[in-house]
Amino acid sequence: MSRIALYPGSFDPLTNGHMDILRHALMLADQIEVAIGVHAGKKPMFTAGERKEMLVSAVQSLGAEERIHISYFDGLVVDAARNIGANLLIRGLRDGTDLDYEMQMAGMNKTMMPEILTIFIPASSTVRHITATLVRQIASMGGDVTEFVPQNVNKTLSQKFSYSVSS
């Protein structure tokens, strides 16, 4: 049976934390669908198109483009999973707070879609402190986020907030 994984998230913007999860998910799944949440009512910093562009460019560094597909979803995660025939749902864990919330989600999702298995991937120690929220805050105040995001994302952030990055 082919292992098809859905990795849903906001990716606003993509961080080294997301990349770490993606890198490890490639060890578990044959195909990974990275699904960008574009729910009405949420006000992201980056448009859906910008978030996709950042992902498309960054995943090239993983050397597995034929196994990664990037798309959008605007409803339930289980519906997105059903639409692509996914049997695995990938989520990253940074700490106990993530775990408490993610356990509830995994339980609800399993009830709604018994054939899906949530896989929790622990954050590597080098990236577990990284959150997209803090990256947005730091970058918007002109701070240096080089250590927290892929190079192309850093460039996009620097253009948005008009600061310079060394390449």
Q: In the complex, which residues of this chain contact ligand ADP (CB under 6 A)?
A: 8-11, 15, 17-18, 20-21, 91-92, 94, 98, 123, 127-128, 130, 132
Q: Give min distance, CB of 131 to ligand ADP, in A.
A: 6
**Nearer of residues 136 and 167 to ligand ADP, judged by Cβ:** 136
**Nearer of residues 30 and 147 to ligand ADP, judged by Cβ:** 147
Q: Do 51 and 14 touch, CB atoms closer than 8 A?
A: yes
Q: Residues 6 or more apart from 122 whose CB is under 8 A from it?
A: 92, 93
> What is the 8-class DSSP label of residue 19?
H
**Nearer of residues 50 and 98 to ligand ADP, judged by Cβ:** 98
Q: Give min distance, CB of 48 to ligand ADP, in A.
A: 13
Q: Residues 6 or more apart from 120 whose CB is under 8 A from it?
A: 91, 92, 93, 99, 102, 106
Q: How far apart are CA 140 and CA 143, in angstroms?
A: 7
Closest CA to 148 of 37, 67, 66, 58: 58
Q: Give min distance, CB of 102 to ligand ADP, in A.
A: 7
Q: Give min distance, CB of 133 to ligand ADP, in A.
A: 8
Q: Give min distance, CB of 46 to ligand ADP, in A.
A: 11
> What is the 8-class DSSP label of residue 68?
E
